[in-house]
Chains A and B, each alone.
Chain A
């Protein structure tokens, strides 16, 4: 027991651990923001996992083939592909009337099937599980001038991947979008009461489609993070359920950008703890389980709290 406690102290006082927390958080964060914007328009983007997989795959392949390794081009391609996939989800749900959750499940099947199927066709050595033989490159890391010299904080905040900073900046962007813009207002209106929104001349289908396209684009960023910032290749199953975790984070954060981001940070913490399992002396299988258990507990707590609030609100109204 003592060794575990001292192991934990060792980990928790190590700035590298916190840097890892931030790295692990970024992809979940951006994907959960994607789930959140869709959820605000009352669209559950169950296909996030698949969108992340396919968009990052195409991004990685393009970045490897065009101009030698060009990770920035890959990022843009991923975002575009993600947006298109979001549009596909919207079309199947809104135009062809397929249940949104089932579109998502089908999306996951297709979007995880395509990369697996295409891998040997597009890699030089006909790889079957990852793009190892294709040089695709990493997005650069950035040192922030003054901050990098601050002890303890420096190594955590500075020296992260450029995409990590973009992911965290997106919290502000999405908050602004949802709460301060016309589009955000429309998305919220459509999500809360589509009929009321329709009655004032807002096309709920258009707004929902836009929300899903944005959601897909954010998914594209999250997926590409896993393939060009976390590691420098795409691998089958490399998303590892982060799309589903993002869905959970969004659900716990009630689809509001800041709480959603905080929840993702919690997942990032446990993921990083898993990466540091050798120091803590706890089985990494158990630590890998933690984010999921934490989600379940978190969702329960969130539900209890919001039920209480609702009760208070109703009680207040009666008086």
Chain B
């Protein structure tokens, strides 16, 4: 029997998944191209920037990584919570307060000037704060059966105003209009090392990158290589079944959210220590919602999160560069993100093609059988 090419070995279902993903991404990118082309005064320059900007110089390349790293944290966090089918949407709040306590306050008051200890303790404290924030809606659901979606959404805004309140009333540097004291000398973020590449080009080394990759790996290992992860996914797939086979569903559901919040909080702390030297954020960062996008892109498997994060990070970086160079508003990445998400999730999208694929598969199987006989 002749050796079959790689594609025909796959089942129709996974072929269809790949096709759908590709088409969804193409729709997103096509839409982006149309948007830029129809609205920009210099469309050719803009399009070129959109597709190639992060590869044009070291500093743009660094920007790409800078945008992708926080998504790896929140993406992994949401993957773990969604794998257990817990729609906890408090990731925004976890990032915000995790960043405020772990990223800013630890480095200002607890360990000023001690970079490595500051990063380590900051990440830990950020993680604990984040865990607390996702834990509150979780425990309210378990004890009182209060809708987790509603309480976790409210949690985000509570965190926002809490950080504003603490910042405005207790931790404000009187010299600024709304910001904490500087925690880094020379206004250089403590988690970044800049290397001059000549020609005003700077490559930035992000200490958060290895941390993010470790988090992704641990997340994947936890979900797919441990007994706990197996039970967690079981709860996500069918919590009644999990209950009947003796899994402690309540414990797993709570644990998944605490772990998710912990990772989100670490992400928040790292985000602050990578991008800022003073905490002056007055609005939600949007990184939590990006985490949901990441989870959808990576089909709840942390293994795929880095690729998804690099993809969206690339879009975000080039949009940012475009907004500076040709004045296109960078928010248009949100539009693309949303469009790709719905088409990725649309089970019935390209369903006719799927039917054809299944028929083709069945036919080829029948022929194989005949051949064997």
Give A contacts to B, CB under 8 Å: 44, 46, 92, 95-99, 101-103, 105-110, 112-114, 116-121, 128, 237, 241, 244, 247-248, 251, 283, 285-286, 288-289, 292-293, 295-296, 299-300, 302-304, 307
Residue of A nearest to B157 (CB): A292
- Asked if B327 and A285 sit within 8 Å, CB to CB, the answer is no
Contact in complex: A289, B335 (CB < 8 Å): no
Chain B's nearest CB lies how many Å from the CB of A98?
4
A292, B161: Cβ atoms closer than 8 Å: yes
Task: Report which of B87, B296, B334, B339 forms a contact with A116, defined as CB distance below 8 A.
Answer: B334
B339–A285 contact, CB under 8 A?
A: no
- Are B87 and A92 touching (Cβ within 8 A)? no
Q: Write the chain B residue with the least CB distance to A120.
A: B329
* Chain A: CB-nearest residue to B284: A241
Any A CB within 8 A of the CB of B338: yes
Of listed B146, B292, B296, B341, residue having the most chain A CB within 10 A: B146
Interface SS majority for chain A = helix
Instruction: List the B side residues contacting A251 at CB < 8 Å.
Output: 147, 150
Q: Tell me whether A98 and B345 are in contact (CB under 8 A).
A: yes
Q: Which residue of A lies closest to B158 (CB)?
A: A292
* Residue from the list B35, B165, B168, B329 in contact with A289, Cβ < 8 A: B165
| A300 partner, pick from B144, B329, B341, beta carbons under 8 A | B144
- Which 8 pairs, one residue from A and one from B, show the smallest C-beta to C-beta distance? A113-B334, A109-B338, A116-B331, A285-B165, A110-B338, A96-B346, A113-B335, A289-B161
Kindly state whether residue B333 has any CB partner on chain A within 8 Å: yes
One digit per residue, 1 when the CB lies within 8 angstroms of any chain A CB and 0 when it does not, for chain B 151-172 equals 1011101100110110011000
A105, B345: Cα distance in complex, Å: 12
**Chain B: CB-nearest residue to A241:** B157
Establish whether residues A299 and B149, one from each chain, have CB atoms under 8 Å apart when the complex forms: no
Q: Is the CB of A110 within 8 A of B334?
A: yes
Q: Do A300 and B146 have beta carbons less than 8 Å apart?
A: yes
Given contacts A99-B345, A116-B331, A283-B165, contact A248 B158 (CB under 8 A): no
- Chain B 71-87 interface mask (CB, 8 Å, partner A; 1/0): 00000000000000001
Q: Is B346 in contact with A117, judged by CB distance below 8 angstroms?
A: no
Can you offer 8 A-B residue contacts whose CB atoms are under 8 A?
A46-B149, A95-B348, A102-B292, A109-B334, A117-B328, A247-B149, A285-B168, A293-B158
B337 CB–A CB distance under 8 Å: yes
Interface residues of B in 300-340 (CB under 8 A from A): 327-329, 331-335, 337-339
**Interface bracket on B:** 35 or more
Closest A residue, CB atoms, query B147:
A251
Question: Is there contact, CB below 8 Å, between B147 and A299?
Answer: yes
**CA separation between A296 and B159, bound complex, in Å?**
13
Q: Tell me, rounded to whole Å, the shortest Cβ–Cβ distance linking A84 to chain B.
A: 16
Partner of B335, one of A99, A114, A237, A248: A114
Tell me which of B150, B161, B333, B349 contacts A286 (CB under 8 A): B161
| A108–B346 CA distance with the chains assembled, in angstroms | 17
Contact B289 A108 (CB under 8 A): yes
The answer to whether B161 touches A303, judged by C-beta atoms less than 8 angstroms apart, is no
**Does B145 belong to the interface (CB within 8 Å)?**
yes
Q: Which residue of A lies closest to B336 (CB)?
A: A113
Which residues of B are found within 8 Å of A295, using beta-carbon distances? 150-151, 154
Given A106-B338, A293-B154; 8 other pairs, CB 8 A cutoff: A46-B149, A96-B342, A96-B349, A106-B337, A106-B341, A113-B334, A300-B140, A307-B145
CA distance A168 to B156 in the complex (A): 29
Closest B residue to A95 by beta carbon equals B348
A40 to chain B minimum Cβ distance, whole angstroms, is: 16
Instruction: Tell me, rounded to whole Å, the shortest Cβ–Cβ distance linking A216 to chain B.
Output: 16
- In the complex, which of the residues A110, A121, A128, A302 has the most CB atoms of chain B within 10 Å of its own CB atom? A110
| Contact yes or no, B169 A299, CB < 8 A | no
B342 CB contact (under 8 Å) in A46, A101, A106, A114: A106
Does chain A have a CB within 8 A of B39?
Answer: yes
Closest to B344 in A: A98
B278 proximity list for chain A (CB < 8 A): none
**Complex contact A303–B165 (CB within 8 A):** no
Which residues of the partner chain B approach A101 to less than 8 Å between Cβ atoms? Answer: 87, 149
Are B161's CB and A98's CB within 8 A?
Answer: no
Closest to A250 in B: B150
Contact assessment for B342 and A112 in the assembled complex, using a CB-CB cutoff below 8 Å: no
B335 and A117 form a contact (CB under 8 A)? yes
